[in-house]
Structure 1
Amino acid sequence: MTRPRPSVGPALAGAVDLSVLKQRPAASGGTGPSATGGPNATEVTEVNFEAEVLVRSGQVPVVVLLWSPRSESSAALGDALAGLAAADNGKWSLALVNVDTTPRVAQMFGIQGVPTVVALAGGQPIASFQGSQPTEELRRWVDSLLEATAGKLTGSGDGDGDGGEEQVDPELAAARTLLDEGDFAAASAAYQAILDAQPNHAEAKGAVRQIAFLERASTTSPDAMAAADAAPDDIDLALAAADAEVLAQEVSAAFNRLIALIKRTAGDDRTKVRTRLVELFDLFDPADPEVIAGRRNLANALY
């Protein structure tokens, strides 16, 4: 399973779906577990995967439901799991991943269909199943999961629902809130303050990168790719088109566009394009196959 870079990014109001952005919850009245899970489930995307799944699973077991609103059985399974999570009062955490709006997270799990359930502890998958299950079978499955992890995680074992809560620094919590609200300028300043005090803070580094990209890319013209295709040697158009392609989840296309331009440029122009390409690489997990291929192709273009 590929672990994403511990970075964050807010939703853009009205923006197209993007795996590096946090998806806002579905509007009230929607169907599926994200609309019915309530406080007993957390909607997970690539943005909060690190905190809500990997980090959280070091405290209590995390049960990830990969679902689709196109699947009625997904919604039923989500409701059943949410009910069990409520009954267990914080002994484990339920995370919901909509495979339609967050495909990159679904790809990390390598699922073959929905619904699929994967349990993690200590950042590692330890159990899984595909398809619907009767509530009594789910109860037994969860109980076995709790038995297998009893005493092995920092937040498990007391059963009062309090020990598993992540203790978040107030400054970090405030920065996350600003980010979730889409206040880019304030969020960037808050994360930068954390980074100034802790230069190696992974989340703050990722957040600053993501926000810079989002602020720039959100102003890109809808016809940026067509404009760049019509003038393939125009550097500014190519940079804008690459941003638009990342927003559209066409990550390899964005990388290839800039690599092709690097092959045709030299001097300061080449440096400008290469610098932007590296910035785009850094938005993703360095172990992502598309990033690995992109870096390899960049090296070939340069040497």
Structure 2
Amino acid sequence: MTNAPLGGANLRGAVDLSSLVRPPAPAPAPGAHEPGSSSTTAGGVVRSATDATFTEVLDLSSTVPVIVEFFGQGVEASLTEFVPQYGGRIALVTVDATTNPQLVQAFQVQQVPTVAAVVGGRPVQLFTGTLAEQDLRDVMEQVLQLAAQNNVTGSIAVSVDATAEAEPLEEPLPPHHQEAYDALANGDFPTAIKAYETAIAQNPRDSLAVAGLAQISLLSRLDGVSPDEVHGKAAADPTNVDIQLVVADLDVAGGNLDDAFARLLDLFPTLDAEGKNRIRTRILDYFEIAGADDERVAAARRRLTLLLY
């Protein structure tokens, strides 16, 4: 068992998953529920999710903190009776790690059970294995404290059917966005990439397609990658651009955006024109993934500009 206490953790160390495939939810209409209010939302406290439906979980995490438990390989989810004890202040989502490779990659699941949280669309690693009940309650209290710090203090109705899934609330996606979403759900990265490229060709200002393309491309590049093997190669050959780019991808996928920027920007001055262009292009992709309002993006953009000029 590995336990990672939250302590004074904040959410800026994690990559925002909320735009992974679908655009962010529209602003609530006047009088509708807003994150942080005390009103309830439909759907059970306990539900299951897949690669294709996880966007609903991200939306829910703006109302209440969501515990995500990965199970599989003969290991059953163990928190389905524990989380409802919090009366709708915390939700639980169970994910079968054997059939949802995108979520396994995004949460860096190495074994089951693995338990994480999502607060305001951002992931927080919690622990692997199982905890004693008191330790588990301590972790839940830390999650609630973190949620309160980020104004995620709503509640959801405790339904009779605790495993009921939430009704989809998203607006229909544009055709090429939907095509990319469906392809990703099937693990078909080339088709998803082509769909976003087509959307961008039709509308170069489609910022959601640009961000989606950057994110899908990242997942595609990391498909089948062994982190331990890559990190070993990177340590042995610190000037190899190909290997350092893969390590940077792993950093971004794990929420370590600062590490990815530092790695590539430190390498940048030592490279020829072709190498510098590859680094610059990849960093621009990371800008799209993280979003322009991310403080780490602003700092990296300033440093890249200084290196270029």
Query: Which runs of structure 2 are paired with 1:44-59 in the superposition (5 Å)?
Result: 49=58, 52=59
Query: Which runs of structure 2 are paired with 1:1-303 in the superposition (5 Å)?
Result: 7-9=19-21, 36-37=46-47, 49=58, 52=59, 63-67=63-67, 74-77=83-86, 100=116, 102=118, 105=122, 113-115=142-144, 128=153, 166-222=171-227, 223-303=229-309
CA contact (8 A) 2:64 2:152 kept: no
Unaligned runs of 5+ in 2: 1-10, 23-42, 70-77, 92-113, 125-139, 160-165
The structural deviation recorded for 1:287 is: 1.7
Measured in 1, the distance between the counterparts of 2:60 and 2:300 equals 27
The structural deviation recorded for 1:256 is: 0.8
CA contact (8 A) 2:222 2:250 kept: yes
Measured in 2, the distance between the counterparts of 1:300 and 1:289 equals 17
CA contact (8 A) 1:8 1:207 kept: yes
Q: Which residue of 1 aligns with 2:27?
A: none
The structural deviation recorded for 1:242 is: 1.6
Local SS of the residue matching 1:128: coil
Aligned AA (1:36) = V
The structural deviation recorded for 1:43 is: 6.9
Measured in 2, the distance between the counterparts of 1:134 and 1:201 equals 34
The structural deviation recorded for 1:259 is: 0.8
Aligned AA (2:304) = L
Equivalenced residue count is: 221
Aligned AA (1:250) = N
State TM-score, norm by structure 2: 0.53
The structural deviation recorded for 1:205 is: 2.0
| CA distance 1:43–1:81, shift in 2 (3 Å) | farther
Local SS of the residue matching 2:65: strand
Local SS of the residue matching 1:100: strand
| CA distance 1:237–1:74, shift in 2 (3 Å) | same
Local SS of the residue matching 2:116: coil
| CA distance 1:78–1:215, shift in 2 (3 Å) | farther
Local SS of the residue matching 1:188: helix
| CA distance 1:74–1:188, shift in 2 (3 Å) | same
CA contact (8 A) 1:118 1:127 kept: yes
Aligned AA (2:223) = S
CA contact (8 A) 2:269 2:307 kept: yes
More helix by share: 1
The structural deviation recorded for 1:295 is: 2.2
Measured in 2, the distance between the counterparts of 1:185 and 1:134 equals 38
Measured in 1, the distance between the counterparts of 2:183 and 2:265 equals 35
Aligned AA (2:85) = A
The percent identity for this pair of structures is 24
Local SS of the residue matching 1:37: strand
CA contact (8 A) 2:64 2:89 kept: no
Larger radius of gyration: 1
The structural deviation recorded for 1:38 is: 5.8
Measured in 2, the distance between the counterparts of 1:258 and 1:80 equals 41
